[in-house]
Amino acid sequence: MPTKTLTLDGNNIHDIPSFYTEINRVFMADEDWQLGPSLDALDDMLYGAYGAARGEESVVLIWRNMEKNRADLGIAATREYYLEKLKHPDQFNLTLIRKKLAALENDTGATYFDIVLQIIADHPNITLRGQDAASSD
């Protein structure tokens, strides 16, 4: 089976919500629903039950302007993400969220960007290739 190539345009990503808008543009274009802003949903999608990367087919994921997005989904965005979760004690493990927030503040925790990269890496059928602004196909 040939390898499928999908391309995320980092120019469309400025924060966590716009990251999911871009994920939906690339992966969910042929679906009649959209992926919500959830790391678990992203992980589930990459398992291939729905979206553009079906089953275990080989996918090359090109992420243009990936380094820009490292900052867009970095410490500030991750802090905001965790602080928002702390507002919902009925939905989230606050002890775990506080621990992750403290690690982030101490420069020992993963940013949202780091977590996304780890999720992608956990799917061996997906090869990630980042491209900076000067690169092209």
- Average pLDDT of 69-87? 97
pLDDT at 12 over 80: yes
pTM for the whole structure: 0.92
* Res 3: pLDDT: 86
Residue 114 tokens, joined: 């780091």
pLDDT tens-digit readout, 14-60 = 999 999 999 999 999 999 999 999 999 999 999 988 999 888 889 99
Domains of the chain from N-terminus onward: 1-70+112-137 (3.30.370.10), 75-110 (no CATH)
Running DSSP on this structure, what letter comes out for residue 49? S
6 residue type, one letter: L
